[in-house]
Amino acid sequence: MKLKSLMIGVAALAFSAAAMAQQPIVIKFSHVVATDTPKGKGAEYFKKLAEERTKGRVKVEVYANSTLYKDKEELEALQLGAVQMLAPSLAKFGPLGAREFEVFDLPYIFDNYADLHRVTEGPIGQSLLKKLESKGILGLAFWDNGFKVMSANKPLKKPEDFKGLKMRIQSSKVLDSQMRALGAIPQVLAFSEVYQALQTGVVDGTENPPSNLYTQKMHEVQKYVTLSDHGYLGYAVIVNKKFWEGLPADIRTTLEGAMKDATKYANDIAKKENDDALEAVRKSGKSQILTLTEDEKKAWKKALVKVHQEHEGKIGKELIQSIYKETGFDPSKL
């Protein structure tokens, strides 16, 4: 009798061990934007590749639109291991103590995607990602969004037009200085709160690439959108270091391959996603789209370039100079 129950017990244990062995490894991938954006689509594509290539041994759960966590909380959740993967905007790493990342927020430091990729895909990008390791984070890739527009309920054509406007920003010291240099009053708000803040007049305006503006319907509560391209917004795809390093080696290698391909996909679609979103804003007729003349753009650059110097100390003069070298940006020529 005793022997029989022992055998049943052993069999039950073996069964649950086998069942456990078949449980997929779950990667929660949380982000704050809509699915229909470069980041949202990139996350879905990574999920598809990861699940196909690991033949179901990995399950990627993508939580879009801040359904799990808002901006700052998601980084804390990753460090605690409550989520395994995120793609926060580069601006979000400054408050974590990685101030070098604020270099990406400097106004007009990048003119186009090609300039930017020379930095993110080269040694500077790699050394920046390394800086996250001491915070329990591994940086896997840079994903593009695009160049920012400014929006408000009044036309923003000249720096003077910003005077006294409350402008929503991400929590970045550089973006704070940028808005102040234009005479505006910066207000930090989580991304998920921006639409309502614009609608109720808590803030007057904001900045973001067109894909974020359009998918959050910000254009429905902003009368004017200026194509200023005054700064870049992009992401680092990051994972909890302990989790990633604890994965079986074959799985990790497969996931690295999936991330490489998802990165190419996300970066290939980013510009078109933004162009299409802008076209959709235009078609909606809810916001008027304003372009800047060469002279107007020059006036914006002149007003904003001092932000570079103001943040040299915290970001690192050498880092800023090394990026100027890659992009050809020369503040003395403005």
Residues that bind ligand LMR (CB under 6 A): 32-33, 71, 89, 145, 170, 191, 208, 212, 233
State the nearest-atom distance from the C-beta of 188 to ligand LMR, in Å: 10
Nearer to ligand LMR, 71 or 100 (CB): 71
* Residues forming a β-bridge with 151: 206, 225
- Could you tell me how far CA 297 lies from the centroid of its own chain? 25
Q: Are 50 and 263 in contact (CB under 8 A)?
A: no
Distance in Å, CB of 71 to ligand LMR, minimum: 6
Question: Containing H/E element for 300?
Answer: helix 294-304
CB closer to ligand LMR, 100 vs 105: 105
Q: Which is nearer to ligand LMR, 166 or 252 (CB)?
A: 166
One-character DSSP codes across 203-271: SSEEEE-HHHHHHTTGGGG-SEEE----SEEEEEEEEEHHHHHTS-HHHHHHHHHHHHHHHHHHHHHHH
CB of 145 to ligand LMR, least distance (A): 6
- Measured from the CB atom, is 54 or 191 closer to ligand LMR? 191
Q: Which is nearer to ligand LMR, 84 or 172 (CB)?
A: 172
* DSSP 8-state assignment for residue 145: E
Nearest residue to ligand LMR by CB is 89
CA distances from 82 to 9, 79, 141 (A): 33, 8, 21
Would you state the torsion angle of the CA atoms of residues 157, 163, 166, 170, taken in this order, to the nearest 10 degrees?
A: 70
Closest distance of CB 32 from ligand LMR, Å: 5
Specify the residue, 199 or 322, whose C-beta has the smaller distance to ligand LMR: 199
Name the DSSP letter for residue 66: T
Contact (CB, 8 A) for 26 and 59: yes
In the 8-state DSSP scheme, what is residue 89?
B
Task: Pick between residue 69 and residue 191 the one whose CB is nearest to ligand LMR.
Answer: 191
273 is written with which tokens?
Answer: 């996603």
294 token code pair: 């060469």
Dihedrals φ, ψ of 162, to 5°?
-85, -10
Structure tokens at 284: 């909606």
Closest distance to ligand LMR from the beta carbon of 182 (Å): 17
Smallest gap from residue 129 Cβ to ligand LMR (A)? 18
Q: How far is the CB of 227 from ligand LMR (least distance, A)?
A: 17
Q: How many CB atoms lie within 10 A of CB 297?
A: 16
- Phi, psi (rounded to 5 degrees) for 187: -130, 120
Instruction: State in angstroms the smallest separation of the CB of 234 from ligand LMR.
Output: 9
Residue 151 or residue 208: which is nearer to ligand LMR going by CB?
208
Q: What minimum distance in Å lies between the beta carbon of 189 and ligand LMR?
A: 8
207, 271 in Cβ contact below 8 A?
A: no
Give the separation between CA 254 and CA 257, rounded to whole angstroms.
5
Which one, 53 or 166, has the nearer CB to ligand LMR?
A: 166
